[in-house]
Amino acid sequence: MATQHPDNASAPWWGKDPYISTQDEITELLTLFRELPIDEYMWDWEGKYVDEAVGEKLFSRAKDFFAAHPLGSDHHLTYRIPAWEENRTHRSARAFMNILSLADLAQEIGLDAPPVTEMFLPLTTTAKQPLAARQAFLEVAEYHRTVFHSSVSKERDLLSLVRVTPLVEDIDSLFSIENIVEPYWKELLRDTSADRSHGQRIFLARSDPAMNSGLVPAVLAVRAALAKAHEVGGCLGFDVFPILGTGSLPFRGSVNPTYTETFLNQYAGTSTYSIQSAFRYDYPLADVRSALELMHREVPMRKGTPMTDHERAKVRDLAELFVAAWGSSIESIAPIINQIAAFVPSRRERLLHIGLFGYSRGVGAVKLPRAIVFTAALYSLGVPPELIATGRGLRAAAKAKLMPLLDSHYPALREDIVHAGKYFNAENLSLLAAQYPAFEEIKEDIAGIEEILGITLGPVKPHHVIHRNITSTILHRLATPDSAAITRDIVEAGVIRRSLG
């Protein structure tokens, strides 16, 4: 599933600019469907501006393609609607009406099914949220039918099959995923209009849990959620097809064209991976295509690892050892993160981070940028976020004799840390520690990682050395800020590591 996440450092092969405007996204969608083995494209109504004429533009520009590869069956256009909040539903209402008008368009031009058959609901923490969103959509659909359609056709009834799939984004909810999916799926089974012939999907975030709780807790929480979701589906009598929202760098998932075997093993039981902008545009096109073809073959064969409730409780306790170190460190270094974040360039027309239309993310009492910019900021300082809290957590896990459990459920940990560690700048960390005492804790992390994993963090190849030198330049430029130069350096470093953030 291709998404619009703006984590690319480089320009796409089909364009000249790494910044992809809303107008360019129609071209992007068509190009990806035509040139790569991409099955689904997520159209984001949550965090960015959106082209509401997507249906007309797609069918007018690619009529023959979609005649041969229909939307809603061969290819999928899936809407990520805004989080369900009372009194903040204007964008959801527009998304609902857009789905309905697209269904009308499809009927007018002779298509058999509505082009959009699924919505992702972000920030889901209870079953009530997707149930409320689904009920609201069905009520809007019925009103739309009453006003615009004097006769009801069988095709119109297909709108009752539109799914609302929960998107779960925090480790508390991931570790207790059954509290969301079991009541939600049971309610759908009681609803005779709901489509249950093809199982159910559940969307598990990977970036935001890491940003809010740290790398290791995010991975462990996803592992637990995958196991429990499959278990609940089995008890209810249907298959579950989890979606995992992953970026290219280890902190955001390690899903990239050079890392396929590792992430396919780590996240076995996943059915759909989000293929974000860096995966598509920061690697050679041939490598991208080859990796996607491999995923098509391998993903269906990778079955998840079951986890008993007792084991899941132990995994949760293990995760908390890392969470305890993460929160206080990030709160303390938030000022420098936000300072660097201001220089990270935009790659899409996102809504404001805060203010009239935006919403903020944060850890504890501090506000932080979204996960991509957060990750870019720390990499640009030469202190990859994968390293923060990990060393202290490893020492705590070793003391508690939980390392075998960690090895069992995070087998990719060593590779993830080695990957991120190549972009570590030890000199920058010392300079930052002199200004921000919290960076002394991160020095403890470096020592703990090197001691317990038996590795040495730092540049390995010439391009890693160049990356280190660029991050040194960025830190020194902050003394007399030259915004254009800092942004240029941030992008150059991102190109080297093949992802902005």
Q: Output the six-digit token pair for 342.
A: 């201001």
φ/ψ bin of 266: left (φ > 0), alpha (ψ from -120 to 50), beta (otherwise): alpha
Q: Residue 272: in which H helix or E strand, if any?
A: strand 272-273
Tell me, yes or no, whether 127 lies in a domain. Answer: no
Tell me, yes or no, whether 409 lies in a domain. Answer: yes
Tell me, yes or no, whether 423 lies in a domain. Answer: yes
Which pTM was predicted?
0.94
Q: Are 254 and 498 in contact (CB under 8 A)?
A: no
Tell me, yes or no, whether 453 lies in a domain. Answer: yes
Tell me, yes or no, whether 407 lies in a domain. Answer: yes
Structural domain of 385: 310-497
Phi, psi of 320 (to 5 degrees): -65, -25
Q: Are 72 and 117 in contact (CB under 8 A)?
A: yes
pLDDT by residue, tens only, the chain of 501 residues? 999 999 999 999 999 999 999 999 999 999 999 999 999 999 999 877 888 899 999 999 999 999 899 998 899 999 999 988 765 667 788 899 999 999 888 888 888 788 999 999 999 999 999 999 999 998 888 888 778 876 555 444 556 668 999 999 999 999 999 999 999 999 999 876 555 667 999 999 999 999 999 999 999 999 999 999 999 999 999 999 999 999 999 999 999 999 999 999 999 999 999 999 999 999 999 999 999 999 999 999 999 999 999 999 999 999 999 999 999 999 999 999 999 999 999 999 876 443 333 345 566 667 899 999 999 999 999 999 999 999 999 999 999 999 999 999 999 999 999 999 999 999 999 999 999 999 999 999 999 999 999 999 999 999 999 999 999 999 999 998 799 999 999 999 999 999 999
- Domain count of the chain? 1
Q: Are 212 and 221 in contact (CB under 8 A)?
A: no
Helix (H, G, I), strand (E, B) or coil at 400: coil
Tell me, yes or no, whether 329 lies in a domain. Answer: yes
d(CA 256, CA 280): 9
The DSSP 8-state label assigned to residue 150 in this structure reads S
CA angle (495 as vertex; 251, 332 as ends), nearest 5: 40
Tell me, yes or no, whether 331 lies in a domain. Answer: yes
Q: Output the six-digit token pair for 447.
A: 């020592």
Tell me, yes or no, whether 454 lies in a domain. Answer: yes
